[in-house]
Amino acid sequence: MNSSSGTNPFRWLLLLLGSLSMSLGSCSHVKNVFAATEVKPSSFLTHGKELKQDRKRSPFIANWWSTDKKLLAAADQCHKIYIAPVVYGNIRPDRTVVSRVEHTAGWRARHLPALAQYTHDKFEAAFRKDKDPRYAVVDAPAKDALTLELSLLEWGPNTYTGVIVREVVGLLTFRLGGGSLLRNTRGYLAIEGRLLEPRSHQPVFEFADKEYAKVVVLISIQDFRRNGQSHYAVKQWATQLERLLRAKPGEKVADNWPFALVNF
């Protein structure tokens, strides 16, 4: 038999990825298929009901920018930023059946403070490490410093049960089916935040976003860590927000693809 007529798994994988990219066309379409399509903010945000998607400008699912010229002018004079302690008083119960089996409400309550501290530290690090920063990070509120307030909104840690189920389905669907079809078995995290002008304490920007664990074609080390997805999402959000706040007018800050070949 001619070897070219046999089934080549790598050929099928390439064909599958090729057809996937052609059919979806853009990162925003891919995210709608594999990741979250909406996030409902809490009362933490002043303009939560006015948030909208703007993929031409922001990587976040929901955004609001002030149109008050005086407020924007005052905020533009600030070259410092204070990142407040991350809160989680509005976090919602985990409705995912798989996650609720492995993680009780008590378990989440015990681990939320550490996740909030991790989130604060990563956002602060993202603003500190940039070589050409727009804002200098300060350790306390100041009259010449914007304040970034963040709130954890939803949290579903990774589960071993979910990993096993996705792996079994993935073996039958070229590794993509387990993640895309069984989204509710993947870890997820939602966040909301607002940037405040220091003198008026009014928001100039608000956002909300929700991320599920990436769909991984080959192997994902993150899936085997309880906080693998949440830690990864936090680091991505921190980097994206820092880039968005220093972006020039008309400059687009792109989102990350929600699937990968390997995810460490």
Span 74-122, pLDDT tens digits: 999 999 999 999 999 999 998 887 777 788 889 999 999 999 999 999 9
pLDDT score, position 182: 59
> Long-range pairs for 92-95 at CB < 8 Å and ≥24 separation?
92/153, 92/154, 94/154, 94/155, 94/156
Give the DSSP letter of residue 238. Answer: H
Mean pLDDT computed over every residue of the chain:
81
pLDDT score, position 250: 79
Distances (CA, A) of 9 to 24, 112, 173, 179: 22, 42, 11, 19
Indicate whether 20 belongs to any domain: no
Give the structural domain span for 224: 35-263
Q: Which of 103-107, 139-143, 156-160, 245-249 holds the top average pLDDT?
A: 139-143
Asked if 194 contacts 46 with a C-beta cutoff of 8 angstroms, the reply is: yes
Residue type, 130: D
> Which of 21, 43, 156, 137 is closest to 96 using CA atoms?
156
The three-state secondary structure class of 52 is: strand
Indicate whether 248 belongs to any domain: yes
Q: What is the spatial distance between Cα 207 and Cα 192, in angstroms, rounded to a whole number?
A: 6
Q: What is the spatial distance between Cα 214 and Cα 34, in angstroms, rounded to a whole number?
A: 8
Average pLDDT over residues 6-23: 45
> Which of 224, 207, 206, 211 is closest to 167 using CA atoms?
224
Indicate whether 111 belongs to any domain: yes
Indicate whether 143 belongs to any domain: yes
Alpha helix locations (H) across the chain?
9-24, 27-34, 69-76, 97-102, 105-129, 160-172, 177-180, 228-245
Indicate whether 11 belongs to any domain: no
pLDDT tier at 186, thresholds 50, 70, 90: confident
Indicate whether 1 belongs to any domain: no
Helix (H) or strand (E) holding 263: strand 259-263
Torsion-angle region of 175 (φ positive above 0: left; ψ -120 to 50: alpha; else: beta): left
Indicate whether 182 belongs to any domain: yes
Distances (CA, A) of 5 to 8, 9, 13, 19, 150: 9, 12, 16, 21, 56
Statement: residue 8 has pLDDT above 60: no
Tally of domains in the chain = 1
Indicate whether 4 belongs to any domain: no
pLDDT score, position 130: 79
Q: What is the spatial distance between Cα 76 and Cα 176, in angstroms, rounded to a whole number?
A: 45
